[in-house]
Amino acid sequence: MASTYRVGVVRGDGIGLEVIDEGLKVIEAAGVTLDTIDYDLGGARYLRDGTILPDSVLDEWRGLDAIYLGAVGTPGVPPGVIERGLLLKMRFELDLFVNQRPFVDAAKGIDFIVIRENTEGTYAGEGGFLRKGTPHEVATQGSVNTRMGVERCVRYAFDLARTPARRGHLTMVHKTNVLTFAGDLWERTFNEVHAADYAEVPTAYNHVDAACIYFVEDPQRYDVIVTDNLFGDILTDLGGAVTGGIGFAASGNLNPARTGPSMFEPVHGSAPDIAGQNKANPTAAILSGAMMLDFLGEPAAADRIRAACAASMSGEITGSTTSVGEQIAARL
């Protein structure tokens, strides 16, 4: 008998509600049974009763197999409240230290994965204000990089590059010529881990500004990329833009140590401008669902979903949110 997985579902806000339903529809059509538990969280919930992410919910999540999230964010909530209080709290508290974002455009021969460090860097929340609101105001926001945090992420990327599904090449992206403290720690960690345990893996290094040019002019050069949290955030939007658009960009926020659930979400946001109109492309959410199945140990179903999504990425499948979901489900 097939296993049942306990999955927390956060549809969230805006198009998140629409795209996750299509993802769940496709997973069911692929023959995988999920025992889903809905969590009404996000900007709309916050505006309604002030709830962001209670510790009791986090504790429930620790016992789940995975979390599937649509998108969070609503106009009317100040920037940072939901991002820090829900999404980043989830990444930090559940120790989702790898943010894995694959980019594929078969027609152009593009196939690379960005491994973004997901718990440190400028996202760590270090810093603060001095004399806030006065003419002498000071604001600092430091980048926190630990040897342990960088090393576990770099090791994950090397392991991934070595899997048979990849082409066996790893590029580190940073800005070592200017960020001489953080970049130095990253560079030494990368080189030491490489020499000690992955000497056979060919590697490269790109500064992040140069990587932006290569993403546009020669993305075929990349197989696996490992980079810091903020560089990874920016580069993966660019990655989406050069591989058919953010409507196809999937992600997994992974706890590879499996001390708790991992979380899967499309890279795109809640898109309030098109919410509720059955217009959003659900492919990124569906592909994120496939990543979730990979992680749950259902790679055959995940492969079938990815194959069906190729027709959406090539433009063969188009239409409303629900229609694209149905057409993908029908191809499984």
Active site residues: 123, 175, 209, 233, 237
Q: Among candidates 75, 108, 69, which has minimal Cα distance to 91?
A: 69
Closest CB to ligand IPM among residues 244, 266: 266
Give min distance, CB of 233 to ligand IPM, in A.
4
Give min distance, CB of 267 to ligand IPM, in A.
6
Q: Coil, helix or strand for 196?
A: helix
For 279, the token pair is 């217009």
Looking at beta carbons, which residue is closest to Mn ion? Answer: 233
In a 13 Å sphere around the CA of 71, the CA atoms on its Cβ side amount to: 25
Closest CB to Mn ion among residues 117, 233: 233
**Contact flag: residue 233 with Mn ion (CB under 5 A):** yes
* b (16+ CB within 10 A) / e for 165-194: ebeebbbbbbbbeebeebbebbbebbeebb
For 104, the token pair is 């594929």
What is the bridge-based pairing of β-strands 66-71 and 98-105?
unpaired
Complete DSSP assignment for 119-163: SSBGGG---EEESTTSTT-EEE---B--HHHHHHHHHHHHHHHHS
Binding ligand IPM (rule: CB under 6 A), the pick from 69, 87, 161, 225 is 87
Name the binder of 211 from ligand IPM, Mn ion, none, CB < 5-8 A by kind: none
Looking at beta carbons, which residue is closest to ligand IPM? Answer: 83
Closest CB to ligand IPM among residues 81, 311: 81
Let me know: does 27 contact 293? Beta carbons within 8 Å.
yes
What sign does the dihedral 261-267-273-277 (CA atoms) show? negative
Complete DSSP assignment for 288-299: HHHHHHHHHT-H
The interface mask with Mn ion, positions 178-217, x = CB under 5 A, is ----------------------------------------
Site for ligand IPM in 223-282 (CB under 6 A): 233, 267
Number of residues that bind ligand IPM (CB under 6 A): 4
**Contact flag: residue 22 with Mn ion (CB under 5 A):** no
Give min distance, CB of 237 to ligand IPM, in A.
7
Give min distance, CB of 35 to ligand IPM, in A.
26
For 265, the token pair is 């979400």
Closest CB to ligand IPM among residues 228, 233: 233
The stretch near Mn ion (CB under 5 A) out of 22-30, 47-55, 189-197, 228-236 is 228-236
**Chain center to CA of 223:** 17
Give min distance, CB of 232 to Mn ion, in A.
9
For 252, the token pair is 């997994």
**Contact flag: residue 18 with ligand IPM (CB under 6 A):** no
Q: Among candidates 184, 312, 190, which has minimal Cα distance to 244?
A: 312
Binding site for ligand IPM (CB under 6 A): 83, 87, 233, 267
Binding site for Mn ion (CB under 5 A): 233
